[in-house]
Structure formats: C-alpha cells, structure tokens
Amino acid sequence: MNSLNIVVSGEAGSGIQTVETLLCEIFRRQHYVFSTKEYMSRVRGGANTTTIRISDSRINGFCEKTDILLSLDKKGIERIRERITSNTLIFGDVTETEKNSFSIDFSKIALETGNKVFSNTVATGFILGLLNKDKEIAGSVIGSFFATKGDQVIKGNIEALNKGYLTGQEFRKKLLFEAHIETVKEVERELFINGAEAVGTGAILGGCNFISSYPMTPSTPVFTFLAQHSKDFNIIVEQAEDEISAINMVLGSWYAGGRAMVSTSGGGFALMVESISLSGMIESPVVIHLGQRPGPATGLPTRTEQGDLLFSLFSGHGEFPRVIFAPGDLNESIFLTAKAFNIADKYQIPVFILTDQYLIDTYYNIPEPDFSLFDIEYYYLKETDPSYRRYKFTDNGISERAIPGNSGFVCLDSDEHDEDGHITEDREIRRKMVEKRNKKIMNIAEIERFEPCFYGHENYEILVLSWGSTKNTVLEAISQIDGARLGYLHFPIIYPLPSNIDNFFRKAKKTIVIENNYTSQFSKLLKMEKGIEVKEKILKYDGHPFSVEQITNALKEKI
Amino acid sequence: MKDLNNAWCPGCGNFGILSSIDKAIDELGIKRENIVMVSGIGQAAKLPHYTNVNFFNGLHGRSIPVATGIKATKPELTVIVVSGDGCIYGEGGNHFIHGIRRNPDITVIVHNNMVYGLTKGQASPTSQIGFRTPIQVCGVFEEPFNAIAVAIALNASFVARCFSADIEKTKEIIKLAIKHKGFSFVEILQPCVTFNKVNTYAWFRERTYYLDSSYSPDDRIKAFETSLEKDRISLGILYTGFQRKTFEQNLEDCGIVYPVIRRKSNIKNDLLKSLKKNHSK
C-alpha cells in the first residue's frame, strides 16, 4: 500500500476550498482519496487546513504525516507545525529558511495569465505537475467546475492550470520527486461523498419527506443536502425560528403521516429536549440527526468531539425508550439513517443518528451503495373506524398509529392519558401506560438484530472498543500493530446495546476503549447496561479527531 | 364523545368559547374527522378534550409549530390552534411572531383572560399594569402584550377579536377565520372567574364595542390605530383583505407535489444518479 498525504493550509475565504475541491475531484478519478478539513469558526481569515490523502488501496484513516504542504499564506506552516517532519516538502508562500521549503508565488504566475484570481488553479496545477498527473482529466474537471462562469473563465483557468503544471514539473525534476501511487481503474465509477451527504442520502432512502431545522455547525450540511434535493425527492424543507419550533413541526408532520427529521448540534439539541420527552409521551416517531461538537455551551463550534452520547441517552424528562445509532463510516451513515426512519415508525420512538464534525466533513470514495438492501416500511394505519383508540393496550406495548382524516379520531396528549388519548390521573391507567411505553423496545436488539462489528484476530487477547466516527482510523491503526493478538469491536448501534456482547469480553485478557471525549461515556454505558468494566482508556478531547499515529502509539503503550 | 369530567370552573369563559367553536364547525359543515385541534398547556388548552375532533394536545407554547407541520404535511385537514394567552404569547411568543410571517393556513384562537389560571393566579403577558398577584406583589409593571397590534404590524392575513360571552358573534367570526386562507388570528377576551377579580364580565362589557360597517378591515394604518385604543376595546375583524400566499402554497410553488406522505415511484435509481451528478462538477 502506498499513500501520499497532501496538506493545503490557508485562510478562510482565500480560495483554499477551490484547491481542495479541484484536487479531490481530479485525484478521485484515479486513486482512492480521503479528505478531511479542520477550520476555525469564522467567515474569513483564521487558520484552515485540509488533508488530502491519495492511495492505491482503500484506506480511510486520518494520518498526521505530511508529505507535501501547500502553503497558501505566510502562516501556512505554523498551523501544522507539529505535523511537519524532515521529509515534508513545503511549497508556496514560505520563507526558504525552513528545511525542504520552496517559495512559489502562485499569484504572480496567475498574473501572467492575466488575472490574479486564477492563483488557486495555478496551485492546483502545480501539485498535479509535481506528481506527474494526467493533465487531460484536470482539464475536464476544470471545465465542469467553472461551467457556469463562462468560456473566458474556463480558458483562463486552463491556462493557469498549465502554467502551474509546468512549474510543478520543474520541481519534480529538480527534486527527483516521485510518488509511487498506482492508478486504480475502478474508482472512476465510485461515489465521492462526505458524512453529511451520506446521512442526507440515508434520509431520502428512508423516505424522509419533511425536515425542519435551525442552522448550526456541524449539522447544517445535512439540512442543506436535503434542501438541495427537495424538488427531486419531494421533501418539505423549512428553516424554523428556533430548534424548539423545528422539532415541534417535525412532530406535527409525523402526526399527519410524514416521515420527518431534524438536524442539529449540542446547543440546538438542548433546546429540543423537552420535545424529545413529548415524543416519548405521545409515542410519536421522530428522527434526530445530532452532529456532535465540543461543548459545554458554544464550545468549539467547528471542531469535533464524541461528547453527547450520554446527553442523547438521557435527554428528556421522565422515562421512555429510544434508540441511538452512531455510524462509523459513510456506508453505515447511509443505511443506519435510512433504518432510523423504519425503527422510529415501527416502535413509535425517537431515534438518534449521532455523528460529529469529523464524520460530517470527511470525504472519501465508496463503491455504489446497494440501495436494494433497504426498503421503506410504513407502519401507520390507512383506515380506521370510530372504535379506534390511539393508545390501546397491547402485549408488546405498541398500539397501531393512525393519522387524522379517517373516521377514528386520533387524540394525543402530553399529559398522562387513557387509551383514547384523553387526560387522566387514574393510578391504574398511569401504571399501565408507563409499562406500555417502556416495554416497546424490550427485545428490540434481538428483533432488529443489533450487532457490533468485529474485526481483527479471531483468537484475540486484547479487545479494542470504539463507537461512531473513529472506526476507520482505529482499523488502520490496528493493522499497523504487529506482535499482539488484537480484536476490534466497533459499535454502530449504541443503545440499546446488542444483547450478545458479553461473549466478546469473556475472551479478552485486556480491554481498551477509544473515545473522542474526556469522561469515557461509552465505557460508562457498558458498565451501566452490562456490568462490563473497561479499565484501559484512550481518550482525546482537544477538539480534533484521533489520527492513525496517535492511536497506534497509544495502543503500543497499553499493550 | 366520552363523558369526561370537565376541569373548568363554573362560569368560566371557556364554556362560551367551546360553544362558539362547536357551532362554527357544525354550521360550516366540515367533517369532524378532518379537523385537528392543536393545543398547549393551560385551562384553555384542555378544550379539544371536550369536543369531537382529532387533537394534538402538546407542550406549553408549541402549538403553532405543531399545527404548521400538520398542515404542511396534509393540507386537506382543517387545523385549529386553541390555547391561552400564557401559552401563545408567553411561552410561545417567538412562534406566534414567526407563524404569522410563515402564514400557514391555520386558525389560531387565543383565549385571553389576562391571568394564569391553571398555576393559580400569576400574571400573564396580557395582565394590566398594577395587577396584583401572589408573585407580582407590587403589581405588574410590564407593558401588557398587545397581540392584535403585533399581528397587524407583522401583516397577519386575518386579525380579529371577540368576547367569550357573545357566543353568536364569536361563532360568526370563527367561521370567517376558519374559511380564510392563511394564518387567521382570533383573540377571545374571557373572564377568569376564579383568579381575575379585575377583568370581570362587567369590566369587559363596559369597555368593548363592535366595529361597525363603516370600518374597513383592509386599511392597515387604521387597523393599527384601532388596535392601540386605550379607553375602549374594539371587537370584530380588525384587519384582513390583504392576500398573502400561504405556507403550503409557497411550498407547492417551490416544487412540492401533494400528497407528500406516500412516495409513488421507486427513488433508488434517481438517488444514485443524483449522487453521481453532484460530484461530477
């Protein structure tokens, strides 16, 4: 396996996004590409970097190693100082006192083509020349990228690309630089998407026809994706005045027969919490995409953390059931989000999709997902008669859900209610209603076959655990550790926990949990639900994702 | 209808309001199975329990967003919000403002008794200055919330005020409100016989008057002026006539095709195609 890590470093609004988009679009037609970004909470200026990793095999972990740094401004190096080694080649806006650094004025080269604004295309061309890439693919990508801007702009950009390319070629020869990344034919047909698009795709696949939300980083791109696709897939999209309104519109939509979701993040979700409890009481389905970011309060708005596991688990006053999914990769993001709609509808409960900024903003290519693996299931009654009772007592606690417009009235109450949905304080009914609500998901883990994903050595001595977005990085880290029998258990479904997991722990001499938080919330959940104690913990809470190097080193220390 | 033990005090203005709403529905001939009442919390919010309709008795203050979601998803339903001044103007004030801006085709009936009944007598957003309660021991010093003026300022498409004791007149206004396409706001003044000894039936009778035929409800400036009257309280339709597109109409104009609740075709191929298109740019 060969891979090359290119880091693009620049200020927000300086064109860093053009460079990253062009490079990814060009590379992804020939290689496996992984790209992730970290950025500051501001519109212009600040410090933003994008890591683009190209490879000849499918690996999607985040590596700190920097082979090439493309610095688009003076502070380009300082932003990632700790990721630069003696092998890093640095190009762009740099003073050449740095080791292996070469000052190149992309704007000056762009001016030769007539316009300074083409400097980002020059920088893109430079990288392609340095790596000796096919220029034709680049030309066609530029053609479609600038298609709406007219022929003049396309022509100027192609010229700028060529100039940058020539400069790149010069450096390639001068430095005898060679990247041994084989071209992979199959990738051309693959999708190149990020976590937000995967969650949005899953929502459409799951039959979502209504979303109301309030913009909040990092959850907004899911909201945007559904808005962008609203006409094609008939999705009602409304930006609410606040998150409280958003989730109440969504509950109204489910009541009237919709399949509705909200997309939000920590603080916004905090505002929705009373209505999560409402969904518990009125037994309404609801799907919540919760894109985690570091708290408390406003925290680090554009950074990443797995800090809201227990918050989502305990959100809402009173006792009522819920299900929490935490997809670890793009495929899981698509299919678990789709499944969330079926589960919410079937059990009449809130279902959470727990992602984070890292997953949402990370792109890589995946084979075309097989959508035939999923089917929308509708559980509401199409017809009723006047004897219909919304909260009829049943063996499994689930009463048939009707929507209004039929001869049976559909009556919901946030107060404790009787089988008809009317307010009551009758003690016997109260007791039975509490039991009814809470037993709905009693055997859900078996019925729906909630399973963890196992990787690694069948006869492991050490069991590594993680949940959510750390999956690909942990997988790669584990593959790099020799001499220890490692097993790895990834949890894409974190509540209710799969029922058979005790077996996995019995075999392990040592268990290590990896979490992007301070309090190791997942190990608390394991202890609370299963009595399983995990002593070894690898935790990170600086607002940044784990890297393959960090996990590898931390595991080596613990083994 | 189930024989429920009604939780309202004898003499409560709510009885008159319930009667007006029931008569309005019957006279309009709307099938009750196609009506959804959405309410929040408070004595007024219990009203849907005492009639024959579908209802969503949700959280305090949140009825307008719930009603918006219902109407947008299934527009053939007649959606009526019924709640009190604390619920709609206090806890749900933000939704009142933005609901008017959004203009869903719903009717919002607000019982205004200028006091919190269910929590036993604290001030409401419409309590008058000087109104004493166990909490407001020196009397209320906040300016009362003038919902009618706010609604006119926001260009609400139908703004009316009624008095609960005038069942017939209130019924006629509710009928027009339900028929009106867009956010129809009806405030109903209502005495609280237990906790508000100031704003009594007699107090309302002395101050209220009906707008007569010389009044044109399409004159926004005049309507605003009328809403600011201090010494007397106008009843009737204060402002309407200006046609605004409803939320649902805007959704349709933006490409939403009804019914939305059952997807007709298999979307899987389209979804794959659109994901590929997205990334060929």
For B248-276, write each residue's pLDDT tens digit. Answer: 999 999 999 999 987 766 789 999 998 88
Q: Are residues A25 and A163 in the same domain?
A: yes
Q: Are residues A27 and A69 in the same domain?
A: yes
**Which two tokens mark B204?**
């309302």
Mean pLDDT of B74-80: 98
Q: Do A233 and B270 touch (CB under 8 A)?
A: yes
CA distance B60 to B81: 12
CA distance B16 to A432: 36
Q: Are residues A273 and A354 in the same domain?
A: yes
Q: Are residues A87 and A165 in the same domain?
A: yes
- Provide the shortest C-alpha distance from residue A303 to chain B (in Å): 25
Tell me what percent of the residues of chain B surpass a pLDDT of 90. Answer: 90
Q: Do B57 and A368 touch (CB under 8 A)?
A: no
Q: Do A256 and B49 touch (CB under 8 A)?
A: no
Task: Confirm whether A381 is domain-assigned.
Answer: no
Element (H, E) at A165: helix A151-175
Q: Taking the CA atoms of A294, A295, A301 and A306 in sequence, report the sign of the dihedral they define.
A: positive
Domain end residue (candidates: A189, A210, A226): A189
Task: Confirm whether B275 is domain-assigned.
Answer: no
Which chain B residues have a beta carbon less than 8 Å from that of A255? Answer: 36, 56, 66, 69-70
pLDDT higher than 90, residue B2: no
Q: Do B270 and A241 touch (CB under 8 A)?
A: no
pLDDT higher than 50, residue B281: no
In chain B, which ranges are continuous DSSP H helix? 13-28, 63-73, 85, 93-102, 147-153, 167-179, 201-207, 220-227, 247-253, 268-278
pLDDT tens-digit profile of A202-240? Answer: 999 999 999 999 999 999 999 999 999 999 999 999 999
CA distance B185 to B108: 5
CA distance A385 to A170: 80
Task: Confirm whether B154 is domain-assigned.
Answer: yes
pLDDT tens-digit profile of A368-422? Answer: 999 999 999 999 999 999 999 999 999 999 999 999 999 999 999 999 999 999 9
The three state secondary structure string of A488-556 is: EEEECEEECCCCCCHHHHHCCCEEEEEECCCCCHHHHHHHHHHCCCCCEEEECCCCCCCCHHHHHHHHH
Tell me what percent of the residues of chain B surpass a pLDDT of 70. Answer: 97
Residues 6+ apart with CB under 8 A from B18: B47, B50, B51
What is the side-by-side order of every strand in the sheet holding A510-515?
A453-456, A486-491, A462-467, A510-515, A536-539
Task: Confirm whether B2 is domain-assigned.
Answer: no
Range of the domain at B204: 13-255
Q: State the total domains in chain B.
A: 1
Mode of pairing for the β-strands spanning A453-456 and A486-491: antiparallel
Question: What value, to the nearest 5°, has the Cα angle with vertex B26 and ends B25 and B27?
Answer: 95
pLDDT tens-digit profile of A180-190? Answer: 899 999 999 99
Q: Are residues A123 and A243 in the same domain?
A: no
Look at residue A549 in the predicted model and tell me its pLDDT.
Answer: 97
Task: Confirm whether B4 is domain-assigned.
Answer: no
Q: What is the ipTM of this complex?
A: 0.97
pLDDT tens-digit profile of B80-137? Answer: 999 999 999 999 999 999 999 999 999 999 999 999 999 999 999 999 999 999 999 9
Q: Taking the CA atoms of B258, B264, B265 and B268 in sequence, report the sign of the dihedral they define.
A: positive
Nearest chain B residue (CA) to A192: B279
Mean pLDDT of A472-479: 97
Interface mutation vs chain A, best among B1, B76, B253, B260, most A CBs within 10 Å: B260
pLDDT tens-digit profile of A487-527? Answer: 999 999 999 999 889 999 999 999 999 999 999 999 999 99
Nearest chain A residue (CA) to B261: A258
Task: Confirm whether A404 is domain-assigned.
Answer: no
Range of the domain at A258: 194-373
Task: Confirm whether A442 is domain-assigned.
Answer: no
Which chain A residues have a beta carbon less than 8 Å from that of B268? Answer: 205, 371-372
Q: How confident is the model at residue B279 (pLDDT cuts 50, 70, 90)?
A: low
Task: Confirm whether B7 is domain-assigned.
Answer: no
Look at residue A262 in the predicted model and tell me its pLDDT.
Answer: 98
Q: Are residues A134 and A217 in the same domain?
A: no
Task: Confirm whether A529 is domain-assigned.
Answer: yes
Q: Are residues A72 and A175 in the same domain?
A: yes
Q: Are residues A203 and A89 in the same domain?
A: no
CA distance A496 to A494: 6
pLDDT tens-digit profile of A30-49? Answer: 999 999 998 888 877 788 99
Neighbours of B135 (CB within 10 A): 11
pLDDT higher than 70, residue A556: yes
Mode of pairing for the β-strands spanning A462-467 and A486-491: parallel
- Provide the shortest C-alpha distance from residue A267 to chain B (in Å): 18
pLDDT higher than 70, residue B278: no
pLDDT tens-digit profile of A58-78? Answer: 989 999 999 999 999 888 888
Q: State the total domains in chain A.
A: 3
Residue A8 phi, psi (nearest 5): -105, 125
DSSP string, B198-242: SS-HHHHHHHEEE--TT--TT-HHHHHHHHT-SS-EEEEEEEE--
Neighbours of A461 (CB within 10 A): 14
The three state secondary structure string of B60-95 is: CCCHHHHHHHHHHHCCCCEEEEEEEHHHHHHHCHHH
Q: Do A147 and B268 touch (CB under 8 A)?
A: no
Any idea what the CATH number is for the domain that residue A148 is in?
3.40.920.10
Instruction: Please tell me which of the candidates A144, A209, A246 has its beta carbon nearest to residue B261.
Output: A209
Q: Do A249 and B66 touch (CB under 8 A)?
A: yes
Any idea what the CATH number is for the domain that residue A482 is in?
3.40.50.920
Look at residue A42 in the predicted model and tell me its pLDDT.
Answer: 82
Task: Confirm whether B269 is domain-assigned.
Answer: no
Element (H, E) at A255: helix A243-255
pLDDT tens-digit profile of A162-198? Answer: 999 999 999 999 999 998 899 999 999 999 999 999 9
Average per-residue pLDDT in chain A? 95
pLDDT tens-digit profile of A313-349? Answer: 999 999 999 999 999 999 999 999 999 999 999 999 9
Look at residue A45 in the predicted model and tell me its pLDDT.
Answer: 77
CA distance A103 to A95: 6
What is the side-by-side order of every strand in the sheet holding A101-103?
A101-103, A89-92, A68-71, A3-12, A45-55, A32-38, A363-366, A191-194
pLDDT higher than 90, residue A435: yes
Domain end residue (candidates: A317, A343, A373): A373
Which chain A residues have a beta carbon less than 8 Å from that of B68? Answer: 238, 249, 252
Q: Are residues A171 and A231 in the same domain?
A: no
Any idea what the CATH number is for the domain that residue B185 is in?
3.40.50.970
Task: Confirm whether A408 is domain-assigned.
Answer: no
Task: Confirm whether B89 is domain-assigned.
Answer: yes
Look at residue B280 in the predicted model and tell me its pLDDT.
Answer: 45
Q: Judge whether A250 and B69 are in contact, CB under 8 Å.
A: yes
Task: Confirm whether A503 is domain-assigned.
Answer: yes
- Provide the shortest C-alpha distance from residue B146 to chain A (in Å): 21
CA distance A352 to A280: 13
Mean pLDDT of A357-365: 97
Mean pLDDT of B150-161: 97
Instruction: Please tell me which of the candidates A191, A238, A241 has its beta carbon nearest to residue B94.
Output: A241
Task: Confirm whether A420 is domain-assigned.
Answer: no
Q: Are residues A127 and A182 in the same domain?
A: yes
Shortest CA distance to A100 belongs to which of A113, A85, A83?
A: A85
CA distance A238 to A220: 13
Which chain B residues have a beta carbon less than 8 Å from that of A274? Answer: 59
Look at residue B40 in the predicted model and tell me its pLDDT.
Answer: 98
Task: Confirm whether A427 is domain-assigned.
Answer: no
Any idea what the CATH number is for the domain that residue A223 is in?
3.40.50.970
**Cis geometry, peptide bond prior to residue A296 (ω within 30 degrees of 0):** yes
Nearest chain B residue (CA) to A28: B279
Q: Are residues A173 and A291 in the same domain?
A: no
Nearest chain B residue (CA) to A273: B59
Q: Are residues A141 and A21 in the same domain?
A: yes
pTM exceeds 0.80 for this model: yes
Which chain B residues have a beta carbon less than 8 Å from that of A401? Answer: none
Instruction: Please tell me which of the candidates A232, A233, A414 has its beta carbon nearest to residue B58.
Output: A414
Which chain B residues have a beta carbon less than 8 Å from that of A282? Answer: 56, 58
Following CA atoms B16, B20, B25, B28 in sequence, which dihedral angle do they give, to the nearest 10 degrees?
170
